[in-house]
Structure 1
């Protein structure tokens, strides 16, 4: 499915007015059904929808592993994804949990109690990484974002080893992009405990918590962290880096894991 749409615009440059054709990012309503129960409609980019659905359900703790899933079906024409879980009673218990409006794009819904997030396990094995490697990864990350370069309308996210990008996704929502990464990692059996998350978006507490649940030891963003994400990162042993641009970056937590 196309992720962009062509539109006619009037472009103004100085004193010049010119009619042109431009491309914009496609915003796609995607409704997730679990065991035929409508759960949520995500406003997203229409790519990697299976990964988005699996990643979202994992992040919201409807599933703990792929073995919880019986089958998955997509109807892209209607914008619907169907996922069937083996343990219906466990699903019903999760569905009755509290819902919290987040600061994410489109005011996404998180189904776990925010207080439970503080019970996430501390990172057991911090990842030592050279600062120069982070600079190289960010440079490669920026060049990889073709959809952003074409439209300026998406967030990017990547899962990396200490030396290279393993998975890369883009979406109109930074939470969606991260869920796509985690969904793909889950589907492909990629361990995230010794990996790095790169993101173009703000690191809010929700982004931090999603990553902490997958035991990711390092999170790097081109943008800023929030105060709560810094507090959580310090508590959970996560190395948090913001404003990673060119030769610059701000290191907010767990400095000892970095090699200068």
Structure 2
């Protein structure tokens, strides 16, 4: 039985995130990542990684391995080329939901070089724009699953301004999720909100709200800016109002790392 009995809300400002900056990458980490380790900040619920990355044209992450992780990538601006050891190759762009299940092991690369792909795989003309995306990792239900990949365009659904279930393993969203993840206690919702638009957070054991762009006001918290995050425990139902055109990412989780 969980000992988390008291509702709790923590606000984490974007400027306080750990950062990795090299010539081609500007990366901000909501949780411990790589050489940036804080034992008090390793995860929230089942969410281990929430990285906001900007990658310059022609650059990116060379082929590297992953194992036993559900990885969801959400592009805000530009395009990101995904290639993996299962033979998938394609371009991820705003409004395209994408999930990679690492399972027993997978190799992949992610680069801002769509012009290097043939047109049939989404190849484009050379460009000078960076790609801006958020990559999120959640723990699967069990280790040793088979690796997999899924993507689906949901731009039209997002135009309504409400919360859209982008990736989920929760049974309650089975009929209306864009892509499936091997995490039966987790769901990612995204909202592209016009100015003055409103959404209401779901209720859950754990919630993670990330302001990907814009500026919103959260009931009981106040104004949140791009890069800010709120971690909620045993609560939900708060109203979010966009003070500017905004995009928010909300993880709904009904378990935590190490058990319910």
Q: Scaled by the length of structure 1, what TM-score is found?
A: 0.26
Higher RCO by CA contacts (8 Å cutoff, separation 6 or greater)? 2
Whose Rg is larger? 1
Q: Which of the pair is proportionally richer in helix? A: 1
